[in-house]
Structure 1
Amino acid sequence: MKMVSANHPIYIDRVVEDSSQHTLTEGHFISPLNAYLPESIPEESRIARFQLLLPKKWKHPYLKPVCLHLAGTGDHFFWRRRALMAKPLLRESGVGSIILENPFYGSRKPPDQIRSCLRKVSDIFVMGGCLILESIALFNWCEKMNFAPLCVTGISMGGHMASLAGVSWNKPISIIPCLSWTTASCAFTQGVLSGAIPWQTLEDQYVQYGREFREEVKKMIHSPEQNEIFNAGRQFAQNFPSSLDSMPNESANKGEEQNQDLKLDCINFMRGIMDECTHLGNFGPPVDPELATIVTASQDAYVPRDGLIPLTEIWKGSKLRTLEGGHITAILFNMNVFREVIASSIRLNAQKHYQQEL
């Protein structure tokens, strides 16, 4: 990716753990997005921080497989991914790990942000832009350090960010998105999380821009799911009547039908904006889609898949693995499956692109 220099400076700061089996270090670098949108990134988020977990002795004579782990919603700092994914992955399969701290999370969280609740819709896009470019910077650095094959993974929101980062890399890479799908919009406009969105505030702001301006912006938005947008809004209204019915009328002289149309229009506009920036149909496929395995849950209410273009259609040749249960149960009881899929894809990567067995 031309937006990130192959020599973007990355620094190792200190050794956190030094055991007989592994070394854990911490490092940092300036987020590459800061060069393009400095005014949009909170000061606390401009420095990307990561942990690097490596074995003292690699299993292969010269291949050094490393997996980049991106954070899911609420996954602050490093400890959860380190304990549940990185260390077991190293012990079981000899795969090293980079654990990147999310912008707006942990030490990168703005002081006026409450926990994981982003203050603005635009922060979602800034987070995504930061993570894509930061991942590319780390992939470049891994190449300089002779780490290979490479993999990127994440769970839930981290899974979608991993997909975006993986398709933005111009070389074969294993991509393992866990409990995510084709677009991030469905989670916010159809899934369980949609009930936590302050729709009244967004509706009020949406109306302020005026109809003519809104129509012009709509023409600039491209969603591969365009034919489904209105139905998605209608489905949201049916599934969450309490959240919509509790919203006061925009004005006393507007009928209920017109007010309902405005609510649906706001939801659809939100989905269109998110599809423009996060729908994987708007990005090219991975260099080698066969290295991608998408792990989903059969009853995932957080990331609905109904009515969406399947990711396996966009990434021709990729594999789909479906776990029984819902979003939370999949996270609680299937970490071992996520690790197995990562290791399997890395082995395939080594066979196809390095002609080696791991």
Structure 2
Amino acid sequence: MVTVNLGILHYVLDHVYGAFVHRTRLTTPFFSKGWGGSKLDLLENMIKQLFPEVIGQGMPPSLIQPLWRTVWETKTACLREGVFQTPCNEQLMSALPPESHTARVAFLAPKLLQPQKMACVVHLAGTGDHTFERRLRLGGPLLKENIATMVLESPFYGQRRPRLQRGAKLLCVSDLLLLGRATIEEARSLLYWLETEAGFGKTGVCGLSMGGVHAAMVGSLHPTPVATLPFLSPHSAVVAFCEGILKHGTAWEALREDAADTATLTLEQVRERMRSVLSLTDVTRFPVPKNPNAVIFVAATDDGYIPKHSVLELQKAWPGSEVRWVTGGHVSSFLLHNDAFRRAIIDSLNRLD
């Protein structure tokens, strides 16, 4: 009789999926146009300035006024879509592609909304999540728990994708930092709108993979306690692109050519530069959220993309936070453990005053 180790199968599934998506020539690799030139320098300086600023007084969210239209409604529920101009400052706006200047959100709530008695969670996009549908399916059943769902379409994704970009494969390293910084500004503004304009009693932010990194940053920077739920996410983009499976989908040769002005760089030197740039996304450098007890990480036991040590580093940096483990890999957990994600959302919101 042959005993099958399910953990190994989940881990292998991640690598098989990764090999198909990232090692074949079916799609272009990440960062095929290089580092992003002066745009990268601008973003590095802006993000370096972010850390002392948030550790001090914090950045107040921007006030936005989304324009809403009703997509459908039933006797009990209503789905609206809204648009608003991204609240990024002039420097960021000039760096963002024009297609990303207008943000889009979907808002799933009861038809007869009583926000003071309800909670709402903003769901952020993982790598490759271009539409609202998957996150609406995750949040839909939570209506029975008096929890509404707001889904943000990321810059560089969906209708906000630049014309020359194919799929989720960002053209430059600077695009990754731009995507993150703009997503954080927009998500914090949506939380502020939910709290001050819509009047929700409790709010939260969650995301899968890359969306989980952004959710952790938003929860850290928001001026009031929010439920913070990073799912299947690392503590830094360094883990994803320099240690995990995505390193096989990165255009290292193009990055080397773009970086070599006068001297020839080795691939190892290029990878070290990538580590240095992406260290700016290290969430352990961000302040501890206002209520760390309302931070729940959900991680997979056999994740080929995100190693366990990365999840535990962030938990250690945020005392009081909780890690919950689901059995599976990155891909299988993404598909099979929505109930665990929903349970974490409910529990995290219950830990808010």
TM-score, structure 2 normalization: 0.79
User: Matches of 1:141 and 1:131 in 2, distance apart?
Assistant: 15
Deviations 1:212-263 (A, max 9, x none): xxxxxxxxxxxxxxxxxxxxxxxxxxxxxxxxxxxxxx5xxxxxxxx7xx32
Whole-Å Cα distance in 2 between the matches of residues 3 and 121 of structure 1?
27
Aligned partners of 1:327 and 1:61: how far apart in 2?
34
Alpha-carbon distance in structure 2 between the residues aligned to 1:275 and 1:48: 27
Task: Determine which of 124, 143, 159 is the counterpart of 1:70.
Answer: 124
Does structure 1 residue 135 correspond to structure 2 residue 187?
Answer: yes
Match in the other structure for 1:100: 152
Deviations 1:5-60 (A, max 9, x none): 3xx232233101111111111111111125332221000001011011111346x8
Task: Write the deviation string for residues 42-96 of structure 1: whole angstroms up to 9, x where unpaired.
Answer: 00001011011111346x893220000001111112111112x1212213x2200
2:311, 2:209 → 1: CA distance?
17
Q: Which residue of 2 aligns with 1:112?
A: 164
Radius of gyration: which is bigger? Answer: 1
1:81 aligns with 2:85: no
User: Tell me, what secondary structure is at the counterpart of 1:165?
Assistant: helix
CA contact (8 A) 1:23 1:53 kept: yes
Percent identical among aligned pairs is: 33
Distance 1:22 1:308 in 2: 36
Q: How does 1:243-322 map to 2 (within 5 A)?
A: 262-276=266-280, 278-306=281-309, 310-322=313-325
Q: What letter matches 2:327 in structure 1?
A: E
Q: How far apart, in 2, do the equivalents of 1:291 and 1:308 lie?
A: 16
- Kindly indicate whether structure 1 or structure 2 has the higher relative contact order, using CA contacts under 8 Å at least 6 residues apart: 2
- 2:10 maps to none
Letter in 1 for 2:68: D
1:154 equivalent in alignment to 2:157: no
Query: 1:40 aligns to what?
Result: 95
**AA paired with 1:132?**
I
1:309 Cα offset (Å): 6.3
Query: Is contact 1:187-1:304 (8 Å) kept?
Result: no
Aligned equivalent of 2:106: 51
Structure 1: runs of 5 or more not aligned: 211-249, 251-258, 354-358
Confirm or deny: 8 A CA contact 1:291 1:318 kept in the other structure: yes
Instruction: Report the aligned-residue RMSD.
Output: 1.8
Name the structure 2 match of 1:26. Answer: 81
Q: Closer, same or farther in 2 for the Cα pair 1:94/1:309, shift >3 Å?
A: closer
Using the alignment, how far apart are the partners of 1:142 and 1:43 within structure 2? 26
For 1:14, the equivalent position in structure 2 comes to 69
Residues 189 and 293 of structure 1: is their aligned pair in 2 closer, same or farther, counting only changes over 3 Å? same
TM-score of the aligned structures, taking structure 1 as reference length? 0.78
Assess if the C-alpha contact under 8 Å between 2:115 and 2:201 holds in 1: no
Residues 1:100 and 1:208: Cα distance change in structure 2 (over 3 Å): same
